[in-house]
C-alpha cells in the first residue's frame, strides 16, 4: 500500500532500474531492508527542489546527491561570496564570483555523476513559484528570508506538496515538515510575516557556521524518509535545536482550522509577494543579484525620500574635505572587525542618543552600515527627527572595502 505522502508525491510504480555502477555505489543502502532495491529505485525516481543553495541548501543537496536522489533542482539567484564559505560547503574558493547554482552543480556532479541537476537561476516570486515547484515531489525550503518562506509554504499547500523546512538564527534552529496531507503548514504556526525590520537577517544577526549543517542534514533526512515512506516524518512537530546547550526539543503542532492558507475558510488562495512588506529589495532583473546591485549604485536612486550615495561619491567628498558628518550604525562587535573611523551609534540606540549628534542637524549626514539596509532605516529615523540633509551609503562598508580601500577586511 502506498502511503498518503507517496500518493501525494506521485512517486510512481514504474521505477527506473539501477546500473551495476549504481548498485555498487548504493550497496550500504541496498543491504538495509528499509531501503533495499525498491527504496533505492524510489530515490532515483524522486525529484527534490532545494530552495536556496546557502547554509542549509549546501549539506541538504550534498547528502541528497550522495544518497541517490535522481533529480535535484536548485533555485538561487545569488553569486558565491567569500563570506559564504564559513558555512556553505557546497561552494569553494575556486567558485567565488560564480553563480551559486553553477557552483553547486560542480560539487554535486563531482560527488555523484548519475545525478540530474536542474538549475533555476532566478528569484522565486508569486509569478514563477507554482510553475517551478509543480515538477517536484518534495520541496526543501532552506531560505533565509520571510518573503520566500511564505511563498514556498503557500505554493506547497496550493500544490499539495510536502515541504521539508528548516531555518536558523545565530545558535538556534528549527525544522518541521509542512504541507503534508492532514499536517499543518507554516502559516498554522505563524499566520502572517513579521513586520519589516523586526527580524534581522543572517547578514545582520550572524550565524554559527556549523548550525546550518546540522539543520540541513535534518532536512535531508526528512526528505529521504518522505520519499521512502519510512519512519515518522516531522509532520505536526516542530523540532527546536539549541546548539550552545545542545538541546533538542519538540513542540506539537496542530493543523489550525483558521489557518489563512490550509484552513477551512482560506483567505490566501493565490500567491503573495511580500517583498515590500518584509523590506527586502527585489533585484531589478532576473539574474545575479550583484548585477542588479551595481546598476542600482550607478543610478543612485532616492529610496523612501533618502538619497542613496555611492562609495565613490563619499570618497570624493572626504578627499575634498567637504563639511560632512559620517555616522556608522552597526553593532560594536562589527565596528571592531573593521571601520572607516566614523563615530558609532548602533541603529537600535539612535532614537535615545539623538542629543549626541544634534549639532549635525543641518550638516550633510551620510549614514553607513555593513551593506546599506540598516543605514537606510537609520537615515529615515534621522530625517523624521528633523535632520535636514541625510543620505544613505549604498553597499555600506562592504562596498567601501570592494571599491575604495581593498586593504580592509570584509565579513
Ligand atoms: Zn496552515
pLDDT score of 291 more than 50: no
CATH number at residue 380: 3.40.250.10
185 lies in the same domain as 314:
no
φ, ψ of residue 102 to 5 degrees: the values are -70, -45
φ, ψ of residue 356 to 5 degrees: the values are -65, -25
Tens-place pLDDT, residues 229-246: 999 999 999 999 999 999
pLDDT in the model for residue 3: 56
269 lies in the same domain as 328:
no
- Tell me if 164 sits within 8 A of 223, measured CB to CB: yes
Q: Please report, for residues 78, 112, 312, the alpha-carbon distance to residue 164 in angstroms, rounded to integers and kept in the order given.
A: 22, 22, 44
Catalytic residues, by residue number, are 202, 369
pLDDT in the model for residue 153: 97
Instruction: For residue 49, give the 3-state DSSP assignment.
Output: strand
Q: Point out which residues pair with 177 in neighbouring strands.
A: 164, 235
In the reported structure, the alpha carbon of residue 173 is separated from the centroid of ligand 1 by a whole-number distance in angstroms of 21
269 lies in the same domain as 354:
no
254 lies in the same domain as 374:
no
**Nearest-angstrom CA–CA distance, 151 and 271:** 6
Name the burial class of residue 304, with classes exposed (0-12), middle (13-18) and buried (19+) by CB atoms within 10 angstroms of its CB.
Answer: exposed
**Confidence band of 301 (pLDDT split at 50, 70, 90):** low
Please tell me which of 48-52, 186-190, 346-350 the model is most confident about, judged by mean pLDDT: 48-52
- Tell me if 220 sits within 8 A of 303, measured CB to CB: no
In the reported structure, the alpha carbon of residue 150 is separated from the centroid of ligand 1 by a whole-number distance in angstroms of 11
In the reported structure, the alpha carbon of residue 74 is separated from the centroid of ligand 1 by a whole-number distance in angstroms of 25
**Which residue, of 225, 244, 278, is where some domain finishes?**
278
In the reported structure, the alpha carbon of residue 140 is separated from the centroid of ligand 1 by a whole-number distance in angstroms of 17
Contacts of 77 (CB under 8 A, 6+ apart): 121, 122, 123, 283, 286, 287, 288, 289
- The answer to whether residue 410 is domain-embedded is no
**Which residue, of 247, 278, 309, is where some domain finishes?**
278
Residue 352 lies in domain: 300-403
pLDDT score of 275 more than 80: no
pLDDT in the model for residue 355: 92
Tens-place pLDDT, residues 383-410: 888 888 899 999 999 999 999 999 999 8
**Confidence band of 39 (pLDDT split at 50, 70, 90):** very high
Q: Please report, for residues 135, 339, 345, 409, the alpha-carbon distance to residue 313 in angstroms, rounded to integers and kept in the order given.
A: 47, 18, 23, 21
In the reported structure, the alpha carbon of residue 11 is separated from the centroid of ligand 1 by a whole-number distance in angstroms of 24
- Tell me if 383 sits within 8 A of 351, measured CB to CB: no
In the reported structure, the alpha carbon of residue 186 is separated from the centroid of ligand 1 by a whole-number distance in angstroms of 6
φ, ψ of residue 236 to 5 degrees: the values are 80, 10
- The answer to whether residue 289 is domain-embedded is no
98 lies in the same domain as 229:
yes
pLDDT score of 294 more than 60: no
CATH number at residue 88: 3.40.50.720
**Confidence band of 6 (pLDDT split at 50, 70, 90):** low
- The answer to whether residue 242 is domain-embedded is yes
In the reported structure, the alpha carbon of residue 258 is separated from the centroid of ligand 1 by a whole-number distance in angstroms of 8
- The answer to whether residue 256 is domain-embedded is yes
77 lies in the same domain as 146:
yes
- The answer to whether residue 119 is domain-embedded is yes
- Tell me if 56 sits within 8 A of 168, measured CB to CB: yes
**Greatest extent of the chain over all pairs of C-alpha atoms, in Å:** 78
pLDDT in the model for residue 303: 74
In the reported structure, the alpha carbon of residue 266 is separated from the centroid of ligand 1 by a whole-number distance in angstroms of 9
DSSP notation for 338-364: ---S--B--GGGGGGGGGGGGGGTTSE
In the reported structure, the alpha carbon of residue 42 is separated from the centroid of ligand 1 by a whole-number distance in angstroms of 28
Residue whose C-alpha cell reads 540530474 in the numeric block: 116
Q: How many domains does the chain fold into? A: 2
Tens-place pLDDT, residues 95-149: 999 999 999 999 999 999 999 999 999 889 999 999 999 999 999 999 988 889 9
**Nearest-angstrom CA–CA distance, 94 and 106:** 11
**Which residue, of 214, 247, 278, is where some domain finishes?**
278
In the reported structure, the alpha carbon of residue 228 is separated from the centroid of ligand 1 by a whole-number distance in angstroms of 25
In the reported structure, the alpha carbon of residue 195 is separated from the centroid of ligand 1 by a whole-number distance in angstroms of 20
185 lies in the same domain as 132:
yes
Residue whose C-alpha cell reads 533538542 in the numeric block: 248
Element (H, E) at 23: helix 20-25
Element (H, E) at 47: strand 47-51
**Nearest-angstrom CA–CA distance, 332 and 260:** 41
85 lies in the same domain as 157:
yes
Strand segments (E) across 360-405:
364-368, 390-393
Alpha helices in 36-174 (DSSP H): 36-45, 57-67, 100-111, 129-133, 146-159
- The answer to whether residue 283 is domain-embedded is no
Q: Please report, for residues 74, 238, 316, the alpha-carbon distance to residue 133 in angstroms, rounded to integers and kept in the order given.
A: 11, 23, 48
- The answer to whether residue 295 is domain-embedded is no
Q: What percentage of the chain has pLDDT greater than the value 70?
A: 87
pLDDT in the model for residue 383: 87
236 lies in the same domain as 329:
no
| pTM for the predicted model, two decimal places | 0.71
150 lies in the same domain as 214:
yes
Tens-place pLDDT, residues 174-219: 999 999 988 999 999 989 887 665 555 555 568 899 999 999 999 9
In the reported structure, the alpha carbon of residue 350 is separated from the centroid of ligand 1 by a whole-number distance in angstroms of 38
- The answer to whether residue 291 is domain-embedded is no
* Residue 48, CA atoms < 13 Å, CB-side half-sphere: 35
242 lies in the same domain as 110:
yes
In the reported structure, the alpha carbon of residue 156 is separated from the centroid of ligand 1 by a whole-number distance in angstroms of 11
242 lies in the same domain as 359:
no
Closest CA to 144 of 272, 64, 53: 53
pLDDT score of 251 more than 70: yes
* Residue 394, CA atoms < 13 Å, CB-side half-sphere: 23
In the reported structure, the alpha carbon of residue 296 is separated from the centroid of ligand 1 by a whole-number distance in angstroms of 37
Q: What is the mean pLDDT of the chain?
A: 88
Amino acid at each position: 500500500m502506498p502511503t498518503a505522502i507517496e500518493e501525494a508525491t506521485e512517486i510512481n510504480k514504474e521505477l527506473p532500474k539501477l546500473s551495476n555502477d549504481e548498485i555498487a555505489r548504493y550497496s550500504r543502502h541496498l543491504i538495509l531492508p528499509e531501503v533495499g532495491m525498491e527504496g533505492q529505485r524510489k530515490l532515483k525516481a524522486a525529484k527534490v527542489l532545494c530552495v536556496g543553495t546557502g547554509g542549509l541548501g549546501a549539506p541538504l543537496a550534498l547528502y541528497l546527491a550522495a544518497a541517490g536522489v535522481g533529480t535535484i533542482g536548485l533555485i538561487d539567484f545569488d553569486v558565491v561570496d567569500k563570506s559564504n564559505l564559513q558555512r556553505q560547503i557546497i561552494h569553494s574558493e575556486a567558485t567565488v564570483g560564480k553563480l551559486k547554482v553553477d557552483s553547486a552543480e560542480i560539487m554535486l556532479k563531482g560527488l555523484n555523476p548519475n545525478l540530474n541537476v536542474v538549475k533555476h537561476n532566478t528569484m522565486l516570486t508569486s509569478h514563477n513559484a507554482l510553475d517551478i515547484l509543480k515538477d517536484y515531489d518534495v520541496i526543501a525550503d532552506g531560505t533565509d528570508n520571510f518573503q520566500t518562506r511564505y511563498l514556498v509554504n503557500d505554493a506547497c499547500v496550493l500544490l499539495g506538496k510536502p515541504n521539508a523546512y528548516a531555518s536558523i538564527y545565530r545558535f538556534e534552529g528549527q525544522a518541521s515538515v509542512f504541507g503534508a496531507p492532514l499536517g499543518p503548514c507554516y502559516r498554522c504556526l505563524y499566520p502572517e510575516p513579521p513586520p519589516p525590520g523586526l527580524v534581522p537577517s543572517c547578514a545582520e544577526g550572524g550565524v554559527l557556521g556549523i548550525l546550518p549543517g546540522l539543520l540541513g542534514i535534518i532536512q535531508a533526512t526528512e526528505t529521504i524518509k518522505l520519499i521512502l515512506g519510512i519512519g515518522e516524518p516531522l509532520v505536526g512537530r516542530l523540532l527546536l535545536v539549541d546548539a550552545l546547550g545542545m538541546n533538542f526539543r519538540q513542540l506539537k503542532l496542530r493543523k489550525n482550522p483558521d489557518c489563512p492558507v490550509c484552513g477551512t475558510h482560506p483567505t490566501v488562495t493565490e500567491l503573495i509577494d511580500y517583498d515590500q512588506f518584509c523590506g527586502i529589495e527585489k533585484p531589478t532583473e532576473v539574474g545575479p543579484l550583484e548585477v542588479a546591485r551595481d546598476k542600482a549604485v550607478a543610478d543612485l536612486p532616492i529610496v523612501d525620500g533618502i538619497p542613496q550615495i555611492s562609495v565613490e561619491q563619499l570618497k570624493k567628498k572626504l578627499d575634498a574635505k567637504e563639511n560632512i558628518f559620517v555616522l556608522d550604525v552597526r553593532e560594536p562587535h562589527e565596528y571592531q572587525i573593521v571601520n572607516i573611523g566614523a563615530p558609532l551609534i548602533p541603529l537600535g540606540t539612535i532614537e535615545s542618543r539623538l542629543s549626541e549628534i544634534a549639532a549635525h542637524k543641518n550638516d550633510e549626514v551620510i549614514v553607513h552600515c555593513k551593506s546599506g539596509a540598516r543605514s537606510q532605516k537609520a537615515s529615515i529615523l534621522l530625517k523624521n527627527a528633523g535632520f535636514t540633509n541625510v543620505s544613505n551609503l549604498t553597499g555600506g562598508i562592504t562596498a567601501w572595502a570592494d571599491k575604495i580601500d581593498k586593504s580592509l577586511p570584509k565579513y
